Chain A
């Protein structure tokens, strides 16, 4: 147990880099910076922003653990992380920390989505990740929102106003985007298009989830978990109740921070 020790977790993702600082069982602060194309700079910025917010300096940290797709790139100087953990390990630790009753976490990220199944001790049992065609759901969602002049939250709210069931191509984000634009050209209501986009994403995630036993409680992590439309569709498709973890986009970073204790053994 890290009683009193302050540790940082970094989740260096495709779209955003998240930093979490915790002490014992308490999350002290969290911060997000767009990853851009300098992942080390983004990681530094995220960490520094978090440190500045709570007014502590880097040397007060007992350690830093990185996870995410760029975990190995950010581990070097100047961050000099203590260890790295794979995303699926971090996700499970983070999800279990936030909800001890959970047994399955679905993480819908910017580029990758995955589902993990774990036991009552939070030990990883199985993992499934998306196939190539289903890459980039989160990035696609953001792009679609921007093309409609909205942010992700606004797009989700718009989708809730849908009154007509329309669909976009299911193959991949590229074909979905192409058909979304086609629907708009046909004069289909924007709310219905927004809902179709959400449904497309839920379909891809749900299809992947069916490989796992989906033991309850099922929780959702990742930035897109904050879209109520997406969650609604996902729950319908997998025919299970699901709940969104608090701080869903920070689950990986939280799990990374928790993993610090693993590096002490």
Chain B
């Protein structure tokens, strides 16, 4: 395990607490008189909310094993969507002033629908029509209208207009957050990183449930502390995770606590790198269009990734770049059981990894996780990589 200074340990500890006590944190933000908006998909343009003085917080799993939502949405939807639906029905998020999502995968759309239909969010919800294929040429114009409608809705909610200056400020805060997170992840490229993959994942996840300015302060302190520290050389095998939403940090801890020495060097998921690995251009005069340009240029979710003309999955370009930069020895596909788009990408990505000589394994996420089974699979992957004799 790489050594980190006490200061950075403490900050990471605070990030972890932020995730574990996110409802308390959110309520404390509300207590200061701010409005709160929950979001279920990272394609929601948070900057518009932030520009109106609303703090966006991502809806994460509660990891409660329950079957109640099977009478609201189908069995064979992912457990992440079931869990999010459940939390709405349990009124865990009643303190939110708004729940927003963009047209994303159908499973999460259903979770959103449950909140709207059955959990009392009818009057405080907004579905942002969002292109299902991000790479179409007319997508930008479409989003001008769509984001424009969302902005109007938010202005009504906040009871004040959102000016171009407001948007510019919000964009700067969010871009700063993205840059800081990127710097944090870049530390894992080092020969002697001062931080671990699970720790970086923790900070990234925490950023999604925090006020970004507060988060940025903590990130700056953390990065300062880490950049000033001496790290130990990463030992053993380098693993990269790619897949869907995963807010179960225990799985990332497991990866680095196998019977072998393993370092988790990158996570391509919407709860990790895909969340922030882009920027909104700051030099465009029209800030709404700048937002659209940024959001359309980000790493696409597999549910939205189909380049017209070629059928290319644009996300693969990014994955190959990550492989080049972070040099994993193996890849772990990590996605929710019953997810539709992720496994469809896996079948196309595996041949690419095979050509690169990178072994992989697949783990299916559920509300509860079979730790010993996962351990077996992960260790088998490591043994394949290190060619351990049977």
Contacts and interface: CB of A to CB of B under 8 A. Distances in A.
Contact of A207 (B64, B67, B79, B337): B67
B368 A179 contact: yes
B312 interface: no
Contacts of B6: none
A186 interface: yes
B192 interface: no
A215 interface: no
Contact of A182 (B68, B76, B337, B370): B370
A167 B372 CA distance: 15
Nearest to B66: A203
Given A169-B367, A171-B75, A207 B69 contact: yes
B67 A182 contact: no
Interface string A186-215: 100000000000011001101110110000
Given A179-B368, A208-B71, A169 B65 contact: yes
A6 to B, nearest CB: 42
A133 B74 CA distance: 10
Nearest to B68: A207
A170 B373 contact: no
B66 A170 contact: yes
Interface string B198-217: 00000000000000000000
A241 interface: no
A2 interface: no
Contact of B367 (A170, A178, A207, A210): A170
B70 interface: yes
B352 interface: no
Interface string B52-87: 000000000000111111110001100100000000
A257 interface: no
A211 B337 contact: no
A132 B76 CA distance: 11
A206 B67 CA distance: 8
A257 B352 CA distance: 66
Given A175-B366, A211-B71, A186 B371 contact: yes
Interface residues of B, number: 19
Contact of B68 (A131, A185, A203): A203
Nearest to B337: A171
Given A133-B75, A169-B366, A178 B65 contact: no
Given A133-B75, A178-B373, A182-B373, A167 B68 contact: no
Nearest to B367: A170
Contacts of B367: 167, 169-170
A135 to B, nearest CB: 11
B371 A182 contact: yes
B67 A179 contact: no
A199 B65 CA distance: 9
A200 B65 contact: yes
Contacts of A203: 65-68
A167 B67 contact: no
B331 to A, nearest CB: 24
A207 B372 contact: no
A237 interface: yes
A179 B71 contact: no
- Which residue, B64, B65, B373, has most C-beta atoms of chain A within 10 A? B65
A92 interface: no
B373 A186 contact: no
B370 to A, nearest CB: 4
A179 B75 CA distance: 18
Nearest to A199: B65
Contact of B372 (A169, A170, A182): A182
Interface of B: 64-71, 75-76, 79, 337, 366-368, 370-373
5 contacts: A168-B65, A171-B366, A182-B372, A186-B372, A204-B67
